[in-house]
Amino acid sequence: MSKFHIIDIIIFIFYFLVVAGYGFYVYHKKRNKDVTASHDFFLAEGSLTWWAIGASLIASNISAEQFIGMSGQGYDIGIAVAAYEWIAAIALIIVAVWFMPVYLKNKIYTMPQFLTTRYNETVAFIMSLFWLLLYVFVNLTSILFLGEIAINNLIGGNAASGHVILFALSIFAIFITLGGMKVIGFTDVIQVSVLIIGGLATTYIALTVVSQAFGFGKDALQGFTQLIKHAPDRFHMIFEKPGPNSTPHEVHNYLTIPGLLSYVAGIWIINLNYWGCNQYITQRALGASLPTARKGILFAGFLKLLMPLIVMLPGIAAYVLHQKGMIQQEMLVNSKNGQVLTDNAYSAILGYLPNGLIGLSLAALTAAIVASLAGKANSISTIFTLDVYKKHINKNADEKNMVWIGRITIICALAVAILFTWSDTLGIGGEGGFTYIQKYTGFISPGVFAMFLLGMFWKRTTGAAAVVGVITGFVLSVLFNEKAPQWFGHETFLYTAYQTVENGKLVWEIPFHICMGLAFFFTMAIMILVSLGGPKINPKAFALDRSMFKVQPGILAMIVITLMIISFLYVRFW
């Protein structure tokens, strides 16, 4: 297996200099004098093109969560995890056609501002705090943790070098983020290009290694054929409901992706909330015109279709190679009990790359991590500065003061994330990075999505209903995820709980997609009941008309092509 070489270091440093240099150029040459300093810093209002918006969406979305976490899930359960990416492409269509016109017509720049405009300050303040805690303690920490594991494993380091990597990733992200959203948006074009090229190179090498392992030479197509032949259970999108004779692994798979029930609610709530009600994501498009925003979002949808090829197939390749007796030690790195760590799958595959390509793939991985950290940090900064500091701490803050508060917030957020990641205080390693993010984000997703959906499209929804909804959604999520099997039994007309091992103990668990669906539907029902006690048309309701949602022929063509590709993929791998 190849090892880190001087050429890899040179390639990686070159990548760093290119991104940093381009960021410096954008910062000084693309200033927009027609917008205020704060909007320029937080939103890059009007200066991002559609391709920059699309690239920035993907660069910020694809991070260690996907490269390490989803690759680990590819090793563990296979292609079914691609549902997160392929359904996301459909969710992006929905966001582009129906959500963005509402945001842009009402000049919404932050998600808390949406809640203030549609509901009231109380709802907005509660959700500002929720989002800040989520972004810092779930997203930033998990991205840093998974990034440290991957890069440290690749260079053969130890705990000390891991801590150095934490600081290096954070400093790189700070360097980009302090230039504001405009620098993030345009440097993300480079980041996503490196991400895709390096990611595809890794997948190609992984497939050729599999081909060679079974005596077929360096043939990537043959390698893919061998994956299907030797791991057929990893190439099914839909898992069947476990029965009395199901293996623990089959139960685990269903708990992660509960078959068709996942598509009834859970995976849609995850994706529509993430792509449509998430400051971190929507911020890229909120400063653009509607046609530009729509093209950018749909372009991101096209790129999402590629992501399983880049981040999931290497995980399945790692599984097949490990079953054949290869990469044994690589899959045990940092294991405390001698069990395989699935999050090691991607870095194990990277070890097969030739000198030079390791540097490129490391650059791709770092690009994904840094872009995601920068995007998250900027969103934290935007929400805190515009929706907490400006409204509740210093209402007279001027533009210069707000930009400096935003920069200080970025540094503080990353410092806190480093502190909690240092010794994995939050137990991300035990959960598995991808599952950790999806599960704990899912605690607030049902209430938030219900609040946004009714707020946009039902004029009767009241502020009181929104407050009740966000609290109810969170409480019900915790109830179904943590307490329902013990309180109400393992089998009810609403759910089935399954026995699994968690932290060495047997526990009963409901698939968290089903938990999200139940929490969402009950929250919607309660919000509707509360709203029925108010006026038939809430005075703060948005004015909607059909013309807002019309799409141009070119945009319609992009939508049709995306849906055709997704249909083909599901027919092939059902």
pLDDT for the residue 443: 81
DSSP-based three-state secondary structure for 160 = helix
Most confidently modeled range among 116-125, 172-181, 423-432 = 116-125
Query: Could you read off the pLDDT of 352-396 as tens digits, one per residue?
Result: 888 777 777 777 777 777 777 877 888 888 888 888 888 878 888
Largest CA distance in the chain: 72
Is the confidence at residue 460, as pLDDT, over 90?
yes
CB-based burial of residue 225 (10 Å sphere; 0-12 exposed, 13-18 middle, 19+ buried)? middle
d(CA 11, CA 189): 18
User: Is there a contact between 485 and 508 (Cβ–Cβ < 8 Å)?
Assistant: yes
CA 533, 539, 545, 551 torsion-angle sign:
negative
% of the chain residues with pLDDT over 70: 86
Q: Cβ–Cβ contacts within 10 Å for residue 21, how many?
A: 12
DSSP-based three-state secondary structure for 289 = coil
According to CATH, what is the number of the domain 9-213+279-426?
Answer: 1.20.1730.10
pLDDT band of 30, cuts 50, 70, 90: low
Is the confidence at residue 331, as pLDDT, over 90?
no
β-partners of residue 491 are 496
Phi-psi region of 492 (alpha: psi -120 to 50; beta: other; left: phi over 0): beta
DSSP-based three-state secondary structure for 375 = helix
Q: What pTM was estimated for this model as a whole?
A: 0.82
Is the confidence at residue 134, as pLDDT, over 90?
no
For the chain, what percentages of helix, strand and coil (3-state, to nearest 5) are there? Answer: 75, 0, 25
Query: Could you read off the pLDDT of 422-435 as tens digits, one per residue?
Result: 877 777 766 656 66
d(CA 27, CA 4): 33
pLDDT band of 247, cuts 50, 70, 90: confident
Is the confidence at residue 345, as pLDDT, over 70?
yes
Query: Could you read off the pLDDT of 141-175 as tens digits, one per residue?
Result: 888 887 787 777 766 666 667 778 888 888 877 77
d(CA 403, CA 412): 14
d(CA 90, CA 360): 31
Name the token pair of 64.
Answer: 């260690």
